[in-house]
Structure 1
Amino acid sequence: MTGPQENQTTRRRAPGMSPEHRRKMIIQTAIPLITEYGSAVTTAKIARAAGIGEGTIFRVFADKEELLHACIAEALSPDHAIRELGAIDIDQPLADRLAEAAEALQAHMDRLGALIGSLGHGGGKHPGTVRGAGREESTSRVREALAELLEPDKATLRRTPEQIAALFIGLLFTQPRTADEPDLTPQELVEVFLHGAASGSAK
C-alpha cells in the first residue's frame, strides 16, 4: 500500500521553468513572428506559438515594446555566429575556412536585417541595442573569432590576423550590390580578397 508521503512524492509536479529560461524561450519564439509580421504581431500570437498563456509573457516582460527590444538585442548578439566560426575545421585550407566564415557571418547579418527591416524603423527606437557600444562589442567579438581562424596562416599573411580579419569583415559587409549583377558567392568573395581583383591572365 502506498503511504501518504509516497503519494505526495509521486504527484509532485516537475519544477517550472526559471524566469530567465522562460524569457529566452519567448524571445526565440517571437523572433520569426516579428520577422514575418513586424511590430503588428500581437503578444497573443506569440503566446500561442510558444504554447503559453499571454499573461506569462508579461511576467517576464513589462510590455510588448520591451519584448521587441529584447528580440533585437538577441538578433544583434553575435553568439550564434561565433559558435559557427568556432566549429569551422582549422585544418582546412585558408580559402575554405574563410568561405565558411563568410557564409556564417552573412547569415547572421541577414537574420538581423530581416528582423529590423520588418519593424520598419531601422532600429531607431532602440539605439542602445543597434548602435553604439553594443554594436562595437559585437563586431570586436566577431573579429577576434575570425582572427583565430587565420592564426594557423599567420606566417604567410601580410598583416596580423586581427588586421586581416578586420579587412575581411569590412569587405564582406560593404560589398556593393547592383541590380544587373548577382552578389558574389562566399567563394568568389574570398578569391578576390586573397588574390586581388586582377585575373591570372592580367598583365
Structure 2
Amino acid sequence: MALPSEFVVVKERARPLAPDDRREAILEAVVPLLREKGRDVTSRELAEAAGVAEGTVFRAFGDKESLLVAGVTKLLDPEPFRAELRRLPHDLSLEDKIAALVEALRGRFREIFEIMRLFQLDGPPAPREGAREEWIEIVRDILAPDVERLGVPVDTLAWYIRLVAFGASIDRVSARPFDSVELAGVIVHGVAVP
C-alpha cells in the first residue's frame, strides 16, 4: 500500500560546501578535540568529531599533518584574544586595568604553552608583521584615560605588563605563586614606600 503524498518524507541531500567552507567547518568541529588530544588524535576521531567520513577530511586537507597544522594555526590565532582585550572595561581603576591585562595575558600564555606541549612544538610561530603593534594599540586604548598618571610611556608599560605576565605564567619559574592583582600592584606602585 502506497502512502499518500502528504506522508512521504523526501530526504534532501545536504548542499555541498565550497572547499574553503568545508575546511573551516571541519576545523571548527575538531578544534575542541585538538585542544584535548593534540598530536595524539587519530584520523578517525577527527572525522567523527567533524561528523564526516575520513575520506572527506583527507579530501579537504590532503593528510592528517595538514589538518594538524591548520588546527594549530587556528588555536594560536591571536584575534580572539585581542577581541577579549578590547572588551575590557575602560572605566576601571588603573590598577584594575593592569590586573585585567596581566590576567588575560597569563591565560593566553598558558594556552600557548599547552598547545606547544600538545603538538610538540619547539616554540610559538613567529608573529606576523605588525601583530605586536596591534596588541600595543589595544593597550594604548585601554590606558588612554590614565596616561597622565604614568611615569613611563604606555608602550613601555605594555611591555612591562607582558613580561610580568609571561614570567607569572610559567609555574616552574616561581617558588611562590602571585595573583594578577598582586602583580598589578607591583607594576603600578613599585615596591618603594613613597
TM-score tier by shorter-chain length is 0.7 to 0.9
CA distance in 2, matches of 1:182, 1:27: 39
Query: Are residue 164 (structure 1) and residue 157 (structure 2) matched?
Result: yes
Aligned length: 184
1:41-56 matched pairs, under 5 angstroms:
41-56=41-56
Q: Percent identity?
A: 29
Query: Are residue 146 (structure 1) and residue 139 (structure 2) matched?
Result: yes
Question: Structure 1 pair 43/90, CA: closer, same or farther in 2 (3 Å)?
Answer: same
CA distance in 2, matches of 1:51, 1:132: 33
Q: Say whether the 8 Å CA contact 1:85–1:104 is kept in structure 2.
A: yes
Show structure 2 runs of 5+ residues with no match. 1-9
SS in 2 for 1:90: coil
**Residue 4 (structure 1) aligns with:** none
CA distance in 1, matches of 2:158, 2:63: 40
Question: Structure 1 pair 178/81, CA: closer, same or farther in 2 (3 Å)?
Answer: same
Cα deviation, residue 69, structure 1:
1.2
**Residue 67 (structure 2) aligns with:** 67
Question: Structure 1 pair 27/111, CA: closer, same or farther in 2 (3 Å)?
Answer: farther
Question: Structure 1 pair 149/110, CA: closer, same or farther in 2 (3 Å)?
Answer: same
Greater displacement, 31-40 / 90-99:
31-40
Q: Say whether the 8 Å CA contact 1:98–1:190 is kept in structure 2.
A: yes
CA distance in 1, matches of 2:75, 2:52: 22
Question: Structure 1 pair 94/18, CA: closer, same or farther in 2 (3 Å)?
Answer: farther
Show structure 1 runs of 5+ residues with no match. 1-9, 124-129
Instruction: Give the counterpart letter for 1:184 in structure 2.
Output: F
TM-score by length of 2: 0.79
Cα displacement string for residues 72-102 of structure 1 (whole angstroms, at most 9, x for unaligned residues): 2222221011101111111111222222222
**Residue 103 (structure 1) aligns with:** 103
Greater displacement, 75-84 / 32-41:
32-41
SS in 2 for 1:48: helix
Q: Say whether the 8 Å CA contact 1:78–1:141 is kept in structure 2.
A: no
